[in-house]
Amino acid sequence: MNKSESIKELATALCAFQSEVEKIKKTATNPFFKSKYATLSDILDVIREPLASNGLSFVQFPSGEYGLSTMLMHVSGEWLSESYIMKPVKTDPQGAGSVITYQRRYALGAILGLNIDVDDDANASSEKDEITVAQLGFAEELVRKSTLDEDKKERAYKALADKDLSLAGYQAIVNKLKDAQPKKY
């Protein structure tokens, strides 16, 4: 994380923002994964007013190949920023655009501490085990950071995209991916 020398005013404003911002509902459906998600528009609609009323704003922009930088700013001049790279499953223009939108949603959720959840009146607890979008994002990040060659990475991405992937299958893939992470000395 990069930041200004001080973030005291920004932290105070972010605390106030987090107490004001509403839960963001997942209104869109991903038919491929049979899951719901919050669109970028859903997130922007909910955060704009509480950000502005607390002197906060943000910018996001692509950086390099498949990278995204997000900066949270306060009227005092204080700021926080972070950048990361996420390789799309398909490396065509559609895939690149999709991964940028995906990154923007998740980066905003992380930097602002947003509560993005399904408003389902507790029905989720009665459903069978399903792989969540967050779990898939975690696994995709493990693929990206792994020491696997490109062919094995592509196979891992395809396995994760399989609409019939079970939770047990997901866990097996994640365990293999954890073993393929760079060693920290």
48 or 93, greater pLDDT: 48
**CB neighbourhood size of 96 (10 A):** 15
Tens-place pLDDT, residues 22-47: 999 888 887 777 778 889 999 999 99
Q: Are residues 81 and 159 in the same domain?
A: no
Q: Are residues 54 and 96 in the same domain?
A: yes
Contact (CB, 8 A) for 92 and 130: no
Task: Please report the pLDDT score of residue 119 as a whole number.
Answer: 41
Please give the C-alpha separations between residue 22 and each of 18, 52, 113, 132, 168, in angstroms, as whole numbers.
8, 15, 11, 21, 34
Domain that holds residue 151: 128-179
**Average of per-residue pLDDT values in the chain:** 86
Q: Are residues 27 and 100 in the same domain?
A: yes
Whether this prediction's pTM lies above 0.75 is answered by no
Tens-place pLDDT, residues 74-119: 999 999 999 999 988 888 888 888 899 999 999 999 999 999 875 4
